[in-house]
């Protein structure tokens, strides 16, 4: 019998997304391993209650407090090592993503069987509504590493933040194009939510550099991503599999990213790094 496809996902306080996304994820995964980072919203309980239903093979926790140092590649390596206990066929998705396309799970199995030890990139499609996606700035043709069939030991490259999603150090890479399979990304569905998310990265990068001196992503990269919310979109024939109002299930001011922004600004006297006129900083 072929090895199962196991999806690994890191998450924090995104239960409102998990509830809708896990059923979709089962279309391209046989089982799941999770890494929870200081979740307080019932994520752990939900995953344990649905362990058999969704074949959840492992639920790990970082064991870190908010103020603790995080080395992302080491956290991802721990999650990857857990997934490797069950298979070499590993996929990775963030909580606000899912796979879509013409490829079925059986097709994905066959593709991975035929391409061992080749890290595969997929188009990263940015939905702004049920049937609209962004094509401005860096988003036309953007791609991300998302799966590989591993038969050899491997480790993530050393990176404190914004690490690879799957380890690919020394491996060949390839890109699978639409309409075969792609990543549907939800973050741009709600403007206030994505503004907070992008500003959270600005603030936490700033504080990380302040405390450790590590290289960080420059603010202009986030500005290019946001593009002052002047987006160019096109209609697509593959509608979202979730409600475009999914982010309205939670109050933005109660999310951990919003609270963390406010805490860090006060704690480290963070200057306004440019919040696109959304009044997040104040």
pLDDT above 90: residue 66:
no
CB-facing half-sphere around the CA of 231: CA atoms within 13 A: 20
pLDDT tens digits for 143-159?
999 999 999 999 999 99
State the pLDDT at residue 147.
98
Residue 139 confidence class, pLDDT cut points 50, 70, 90: very high
The model carries a pTM of 0.96
Crossing angle of the two packed helices 219-226 and 191-212, in degrees rounded to 10: 170
By CB atoms closer than 10 A (0-12, 13-18, 19+), residue 270 is middle
What secondary structure, in 3-state letters, does the chain show? CCCCEEEEEEECCCHHHHHHHHHHHCCCCCEEEEEECCCCCCHHHHHHHCCCCCCEEEEEECCCCCCCCCCHHHHHHHHHHHHHCCCCEEEECCCCEEEECCCCHHHHHHHHHHCECEEEEEEEEEEEECCEEECCHHHCCCEEEEEEECCCCCCCCCCCCCCCCCCCCCCEEEEECCCCCEEEECHHHCHHHHHHHHHHHHHHHHHHHHHHCCCCCCHHHHHHHHHHHCCCEEECCCCCCCCCCHHHHCCHHHCHHHHHHHHHHHHHCCCCCCCCCCCCCC
Average pLDDT across the chain, whole number: 96
Which pair of tokens denotes residue 81? 């090592």
The CB density around residue 144, as the number of other CB atoms within 10 Å, is 18
Crossing angle of the two packed helices 256-268 and 191-212, in degrees rounded to 10: 40
Mean pLDDT, residues 160-178: 95
Residue 1 confidence class, pLDDT cut points 50, 70, 90: low
The CB density around residue 42, as the number of other CB atoms within 10 Å, is 12
pLDDT tens digits for 8-58?
999 999 999 999 999 999 999 999 999 999 999 999 999 999 999 999 999
State the pLDDT at residue 180.
96
Distance CA 223, CA 177 (A): 27
Q: 32 - beta bridge partners?
A: 7, 56
Asked if 120 contacts 148 with a C-beta cutoff of 8 angstroms, the reply is yes
pLDDT tens digits for 204-227?
999 999 998 888 889 999 999 999
Distance CA 263, CA 207 (A): 11
pLDDT tens digits for 85-107?
999 999 999 999 999 999 999 99
In sequence order, what are the residues at sequence separation of 6 or more whose Cβ sits closer than 8 angstroms to the Cβ of residue 270?
203, 206, 207, 264
Mean pLDDT, residues 247-254: 95
The CB density around residue 128, as the number of other CB atoms within 10 Å, is 19
């Amino acid at each position: 019998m072929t090895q199962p496809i196991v999806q690994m996902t890191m998450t924090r306080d995104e239960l409102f997304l998990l509830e809708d996304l896990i059923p979709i994820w089962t279309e391209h995964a046989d089982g799941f391993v999770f890494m929870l980072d200081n979740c307080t919203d019932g994520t752990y309980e939900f995953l344990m209650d649905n362990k058999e239903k969704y074949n959840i093979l492992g639920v790990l926790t970082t064991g870190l407090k908010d103020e603790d140092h995080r080395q992302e590649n080491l956290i991802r390596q721990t999650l990857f090592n857990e997934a490797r206990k069950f298979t070499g066929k590993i996929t990775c998705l963030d909580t606000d993503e899912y796979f879509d396309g013409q490829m079925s799970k059986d097709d994905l199995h066959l593709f991975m069987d035929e391409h061992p030890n080749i890290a595969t990139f997929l188009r990263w499609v940015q939905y702004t509504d049920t049937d609209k996606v962004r094509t401005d700035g860096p988003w036309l043709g953007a791609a991300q590493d998302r799966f590989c069939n591993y038969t050899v030991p491997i480790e993530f490259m050393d990176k404190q933040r914004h690490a690879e999603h799957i380890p690919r150090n020394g491996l060949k890479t390839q890109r699978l194009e639409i309409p075969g399979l792609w990543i549907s990304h939800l973050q741009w569905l709600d403007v206030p939510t994505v503004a907070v998310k992008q500003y959270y990265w600005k603030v936490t990068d700033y504080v990380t550099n302040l405390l450790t001196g590590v290289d960080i992503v420059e603010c202009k990269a986030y500005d290019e991503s946001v593009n002052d919310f002047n987006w160019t979109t096109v209609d697509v024939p593959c509608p979202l599999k979730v409600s475009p109002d999914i982010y309205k299930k939670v109050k933005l001011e109660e999310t951990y990213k919003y609270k963390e922004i406010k805490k860090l600004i006060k704690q480290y006297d963070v200057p306004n790094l440019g919040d696109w006129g959304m009044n997040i900083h104040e």
